[in-house]
Copies of this chain bind each other. A is one copy, B any other.
Amino acid sequence: MTSILSIARLELLIARRNLWVATAILLMALFNVVLTIAGNAPTGDLGASPMIIAITSITTLSVYLVPLIGLLLSFDAIAGEAERGTLTLGLSYPLSRAEILLGKFIAHMVVLGAAIAIGLGLTTAIIASRHGVGAIEWGPLSALYFTSLALGATFLGLGYTISSLVKQTGAASGVAIGLWLIAVVLYDLGLLGALVADAGGTFSKTIFPYALVANPADAFRLLNMPDQSVNMLASGLGAASSVTGFYGQLTSLLLWPVVALLFALLAFRKVEP
């Protein structure tokens, strides 16, 4: 345990010196503040509380940003050490590869957690200052926080997997961006295409809801936009959520980090320094 924490400590130190921490926090804070302020402008009969509006926007944003930050934090984790030559020694130490991964994972989760927390904290502060403390809804807020962490964890795991498989930083960064594109953009696009082609056939009813929830980014989105009225305004794929339901989404989102880290471990086990 001390070993894992020591690794985490060291990685945090490095992340701080490499300005990763600052970058991640800045990115999240910036976008969250912009969305919160912008989201508080419109008038009319949207019928949702300012908190829910902000959370809905931030959810959509997080679908893009959290995986990106996760991948940026992780793509270098193994490949970088392999290229720098520090991996050989590291692997001879009395820690299992799982422990090494876990150590890095903890450090990166701390960075991610801090960035998300600061972002959401700013959002909460803005809403509280505009609409009073009563307007804060802790339930959806903490749900968003923890699901963001789960989403981030998933992509950290996938990033380690890439880093282990590719073993060259340059190539790893490319693959990571590709994965991001696929998971965040192309996957949904593909589903949409299939829906159109299928035109209400069996795919739409049986496979599609599961395929949708199988993507952690979609599961995350569905989980955090439960409000039907807002959902109607936000996304065309909302209706599918009823099929797999809350537990399906939650299962996907909780299973993914585990699966991703397992992938990472398997890939990392194959790495010869």
- Most B CB contacts (10 A, CB to CB) among A19, A23, A173 go to A173
Tell me which residues across on chain B come within 8 A of A203, comparing CB atoms.
none
Contact A170 to B171, CB < 8 A, known contacts A83-B84, A84-B83: no
A76 to B27, CA, bound (A): 22
With beta carbons under 8 angstroms apart, the residue of B72, B75, B170, B178 that contacts A80 is: B170
Q: Return the 7 tightest CB-CB contacts between A and B, nearest first.
A: A76-B170, A169-B169, A173-B173, A18-B171, A23-B174, A72-B174, A80-B170
Minimum C-beta distance from A115 to chain B (A): 13
Select A83's contact among B27, B68, B72, B83, beta carbons within 8 Å.
B83
| In the bound complex, CA of A23 to CA of B83 (Å) | 21
- The answer to the question of A168 belonging to the interface, with a C-beta cut-off of 8 Å to chain B, is yes
**A177 at interface, CB cutoff 8 A:** yes
Check A20 against B171 for contact (C-beta < 8 Å). yes
Within 8 A of B (CB), among A63-98: 68, 72, 75-76, 80, 83-84
- Smallest CB–CB gap between A129 and chain B, Å? 22
Per-residue 0/1 for A9-22: is the Cβ within 8 Å of any B Cβ (1 yes, 0 no)? 00000000011100
**Residue from the set A20, A76, A168, A174 with the largest chain B CB neighbour count within 10 Å:** A174
Q: Given A83-B83, A84-B83, is A72 in contact with B169 using a C-beta cutoff of 8 Å?
A: no
Given contacts A83-B83, A83-B84, A174-B23, contact A76 B18 (CB under 8 A): no
**Complexed CA–CA distance, A177 and B76 (Å):** 15
Interface size bracket, A side: 20 to 34
Q: Is B76's CB under 8 angstroms from A19's CB? A: no
Kindly list chain B residues whose C-beta atoms are within 8 Å of the C-beta of A169. Answer: 76, 80, 83, 169-170, 173
Chain B residues near A27 (CB, 8 Å)? 178
- In angstroms, Cα B79 to Cα A80, docked, is 12
Scoring A18, A20, A72, A170 by chain B CB atoms within 10 A of each residue's CB, the highest score goes to A170
Q: Interface centre among A72, A168, A169, by most B CB within 10 Å?
A: A169
Given A72-B177, A177-B72: A170 in contact with B20 (beta carbons within 8 A):
yes
- Closest chain B residue to A15 by CB distance? B170
Task: State the Cβ distance, A107 to closest chain B Cβ, in Å.
Answer: 13
| A176-217 contact mask (Cβ, 8 Å, vs B): 1 or 0 | 011000000000000000000000000000000000000000
Nearest neighbor of A76 in chain B, beta-carbon distance = B170
